[in-house]
Amino acid sequence: MSSNGNKIELPASIVVRDLAQMIEKSPIDLIKKLMTNGVMATINQSVDYDTAAIVVAEYGFEAVQEVSAEDLKEEVGEVPMWRQMIAGEDKAQLKPRPPVVTILGHVDHGKTSLLDAIRSTDVAAGEAGGITQHIGAYQVEMKGRLITFLDTPGHAAFTQMRARGAQGADIVILVVAADDGVMPQTREAIAHAKAARVPIVVALNKVDKANANPDRVKQQLAELELVPDDWGGNTMVVSVSAKQKKGIDDLLEGVLLVADSNDIKANPNGKVIGTVIEAELDKSKGVLATLLIQNGTLEAGDVVVAGIAHGKLRAINDYKGKPIKKAGPSTPVAVMGLSDVPSAGDLFEVVPSDKEARVIVNERLDAVKTLAASRKKLSLEDMFSRVQAGEVKELNLIIKADVQGSLDPIVTELNKLGLGEVGLKILHAETGNIGNNDVMLAAASKAIMIGFNVQADVDARRMAEKEGVEIRLYEIIYRMTEDIEKALKGMLEPTFVEKTLGRATVLQVFTASKFGRVAGCRVTDGELKRGAKVRLQRGVDIIYEGDLSSLRHEKDDVKEIRQGYECGVGFKNFADIQPGDTLVCYILE
């Protein structure tokens, strides 16, 4: 929201109090003006743009519609989070800010070594003998310009932040070892960065090794739509050796070039907003939180709301642990004074008073309860209705298959299904069972999880239920493609979805005259229910799938057995049971 002379920029809706502050009039006078125009509103209620425009015109102002983040999305597609954050700022006040960078890549490809090499090039950090207080983020200087690095544990944390509505990084440095090439976690990191629509700079590490093959790695990257710039593509690939500290300056210069091409800006004098990087409860100091400021200037004494935590900041320290009074955009700081521990990825903002902070937090707590009660998965069944309503422009999929030989034809077939009305986008395709990282990526990207001849881990199923992610498992390719094609055309009929009730481990096998061979089991998770469906697994192989015909505890027939108890289980027309087998009990809903 901004004003320029007699012109004033207004959003789609605005609180009466904020409108009064913008035009420097008394809220009481403004409420009277609204009443004369037939609008009854209190100081904390919102009025729409048309109403606000009429009222400010009576004070001699000309209203102009503010360009919102949603308007930007319609014009250029999904926009970076920082652009959404500054959508309401006065464009004349925007100034370049340091880019925020995070490093992703496969394990053992040199992420930690590269971070250490980058740190050691920063003279300011070295003068004090290294970083005295690690707060999960730090800054380095390159040719008089600052670059902020997020020292996150990997792409899981990167995606968790996106799932919470934040996007801490402006640029991703993807570390790929020249002697190893693109690996599973490399592909996963690329999928996370692409889903976030964050520019990627590739650091081709370990080029000093005798068996390094940079051209092979570049070919692999090109196959993943990251065509190197020296091959005529748009992806900057910089050769480095973290061990020998070679190419580090070139990499940092490359980051600055990418930052310049993306025009990363903020308003130092605007509304103070940003992202929580990490937080913890210290027994002596209380809540310690690391904040990344993305717009405005944070000052000691400010009242901050971060997720469902709030408080007046008692102290602000920079990344070296030095006390400071204020910090501008792209600056990581450690703060004290919050009432509770916020979650990594929560957005924070500065509000005028502690009273207003408590009101905001209470509203958010109520919203969380309402969301939990009404949360609905983005399923294939409701896809077409949401397309028609304009809520969804493309169907995002994450594919997991048992072997590469299955994955390639699945991806090929699904890529043929995109329609003019709604596109189909495969964010990530990999072999192996469905895990937590897959579900987190699906949650952050509003994607549907597709599995072919694989299982979902217990933790992954729990997270999917919590995050509202649909997991669909298939054994026949044409049924998978048929379902997705029907969803895109809006013809998919409701189907049964598997819900896991519990798991048990077979301890021993014995024979009963009445039931035949019976599995003596201990329930390790959830519960077993008589009459439910059951799947018996030996390692990764499924050896039986059918009904749970009998369930006994000691000598009694029971309807259910809970976690921690032992029981006897009988299977209908099946006797090939061995100790160590895993039993999965489920129902179809």
| Secondary structure (DSSP) of 387-429 | HHTTS-SEEEEEEEESSHHHHHHHHHHHHT---SSSEEEEEEE
Residue matched to tokens 């029981």 = 567
Phi, psi of 185 (to 5 degrees): -70, -25
What confidence tens digit (pLDDT) does each residue in 231-259 have? 888 889 999 988 888 889 899 999 999 98
Closest CA to 258 of 84, 99, 152: 99
Domains 273-374 and 499-588 are alike in CATH topology: yes
H or E element, residue 31: helix 27-36
Q: Specify the 3-state DSSP secondary structure of 382.
A: coil
The torsion angles phi and psi of 496, rounded to 5 degrees, stand at -80, 140
Which has the higher per-residue pLDDT, 574 or 167? 574
* Mean pLDDT of all residues in 320-325: 88
Indicate the pLDDT class of residue 324, thresholds 50, 70 and 90.
very high
Take residue 361 and report the two structure tokens written for it.
Answer: 């937090």
* Number of neighbours of residue 130 by Cβ within 10 angstroms: 12
Amino acid at 144: G
Tell me which of 494 and 428 has the higher pLDDT.
428
Element (H, E) at 64: strand 62-65
* Residue 175, both tokens: 């570390």
Q: Residue 297 above 90 pLDDT?
A: yes
CA-CA distance, 243 to 391, in Å (whole number)?
A: 48
Q: How far apart are alpha carbons 536 and 460 in whole angstroms?
A: 20
Average pLDDT (48-72) is 71
Comparing 29-43, 292-306, 382-396, 525-539, the range with the smallest average pLDDT is 382-396
pLDDT at position 68, please? 45
Q: Give residue 312's pLDDT band: very low, low, confident or very high (50, 70, 90).
A: very high
Q: Are strands 200-205 and 171-177 parallel, antiparallel or unpaired?
A: parallel
Q: What is the pLDDT of residue 303?
A: 93
Q: Helix 111-121 to helix 248-262 angle, to the nearest 10 degrees?
A: 90
- pLDDT at position 187 over 50: yes
Pick the CATH number of 499-588 from 3.90.180.10, 2.40.30.10, 1.10.8.60, 2.40.30.170: 2.40.30.10
Assess if CATH 2.40.30.10 describes domain 273-374.
yes
pLDDT band at 84 (very low <50, low <70, confident <90, very high): low
The SS3 call for residue 367 is helix
Q: Which residues pair with 205 in a beta bridge?
A: 177
Question: Could you read off the pLDDT of 131-149 as tens digits, one per residue?
Answer: 223 456 788 888 888 998 8
Confidence of residue 154 (pLDDT cuts 50, 70, 90): low
Confidence of residue 572 (pLDDT cuts 50, 70, 90): confident
- Asked if pLDDT for residue 380 goes beyond 70, the answer is no
Residue 298 has pLDDT above 90, yes or no: yes
Position 486 scores a pLDDT of 73
Helix, strand, coil content of the chain in percent (nearest 5)? 30, 35, 35
> pTM value?
0.56
Q: Under CATH, what is the fold of the domain 97-266?
A: Rossmann fold (3.40.50)
Q: Where are the domains of the chain?
A: 2-66, 97-266, 273-374, 383-495, 499-588
393 vs 520, residue with greater confidence: 520
454 touches 432 (CB < 8 A): yes
Helix (H) or strand (E) segment spanning residue 278 = strand 273-282
Token pair belonging to 553: 């505890």
What pLDDT does residue 58 have? 85
pLDDT at position 52, please?
84
Task: Quote the pLDDT of residue 326.
Answer: 92
The most confident of the ranges 200-209, 337-346, 454-463, 495-504 is 200-209
Of the segments 114-128, 509-523, 559-573, which one has the largest average pLDDT value? Answer: 559-573
In CATH, the architecture of 383-495 is 3-Layer(aba) Sandwich (3.40)
Provide the angle, in degrees to the nearest 10, between the axes of the packed helices 184-195 and 436-445: 20
